[in-house]
Structure 1
Amino acid sequence: MARLTPDRTSGRIASLPLFHQVAGSRIVVVGEGAMGDAKQRLVERAGAIPVGEPEAHHAALAFVALENAEEAAAVRQRLKAKGLLVNVADRPELCDFTTPSILDRDPVLIAIGTGGASAGLAKHIRLRLEAFLPQRLGELARALAAGRDALRAELPDGDARRRAVDAALRPGGTLDPLDEASADRVESWLIDPADEARARIESIHLTSDDPEDLTLRQARWLGEADAIYHGADVPPAILARARADATRHPLDEAPDTPRSGFALVLTRG
């Protein structure tokens, strides 16, 4: 199966990341040894029911974990013929989907994938993240979920709610995700969630077409901005780093002063 290598200047990605709800469903696992056991544990951990190839007609996904390359390819072909999406362990060229390395802060899940390039690399990135992400990150997520109705009552406008949450979750904000104590502050934050969400405008002057050359602050601004004002010469790969729901506007429409939310102006030298 041919694989496309994403062009960094196009803004394309190699795979579509998804979190698939599989609890209670059947997933085919054809495997042997430690590799097969690992796939079965993964399926069970997600709440699904591992089944064998004869029960493939009840399933939509399958894992093949066989050492023999020819046997693995043959099993994959049979499962594909039955309409299943198939993952073949250690053979990314035969995979319809790949499995990431998972960092679990329930209900927060962080999935690190390399498109099958290196499972070891994904694992070690996860281990680095494990070292500094707070153990209580899941508590913060649950507290925000519990306060959803209160936030909606305080800020009925959806854009205003999003700006308030973005402001609180910024580095150093009241609910900074990297602060172990943030979960304890959700209740008091809900009393006046709009307090931190002041209108603001920032500018980035690009000196490179490569998004990897963005500074950490610039990358963060792109991920936070509600509205992006940019010239036609700003590369798609840079714009791809912006929030998907951020509105896009021509550069000549950029306001002189902030009106509401967070506006970001992108210019290029």
Structure 2
Amino acid sequence: MRLRSLAAVLTGALALSAFAVPAAHATGDTTITDVVVNGGAQLALGPIAPTTFKVSVTAQDNSGIDAMELHVRLPSYLYNASDRGLTCTAKSATTSTCTGSWTVDTRNFYGNGPADDPWYINASVDAKDGDWFSTETADTFTVRRLAKLTVNAAPEPVTQDAKLTVTGKLARADWSTHKNAGYSGRAVKLQFRKKGTSTYSTVKTVTSGSGGVLKATVKATADGYWRWTFAGNSTTSTAKATGDYVDVR
């Protein structure tokens, strides 16, 4: 991956280390039972804006948990501790959860490689009776390039059963140029929601053209909202355009 270093990418880190911890080692009955990254939601980064996300790790031991250390790591790079330290809460006499925050600034990315490789949560847990557990792969997660969609339906208003042309553009963050770039060759759904209802239905699927351009022709049968939706993929986030209302007369 083309990054300056993780020290630049993850801003405000309290600690850096060039030493990798063993893949997984433990003594006694200390275990990690749960890891949650970004509240379970996809983590998608735009071309320039810094983004902060949280990681929570839950561990248990029959004597209780004394302390944890958590780091976020990219392969072959330094790994970083939470920007603001950890907040730890005892859930019971044997189980505790520790949560930290990490800030990623894509202005420090040299390219789009961080969306191609998995990110890792390294965790070390110390129990009150001296037992411990350490792993460099408590969990893995994906950082995606943020996708955006636009939509325009015309003409407005339109005659009943006349042709309606719906256009738009699919774009995603380019961390090389720090701008949004058109995303071509992707399947994008055109959806419609009739006025007075709350559910969108897919009308047709088209493939984004050069520069991410989208275009479809449909029959105008009722007042309602038109939008494009993109399901995302392993490197790019999902996206939905804000519905464009069309009055059918």
More strand by share: 2
RCO comparison, higher one (Cα < 8 Å, 6+)? 2
User: Which one has the bigger helix percentage?
Assistant: 1
TM-score when normalising by structure 1: 0.24
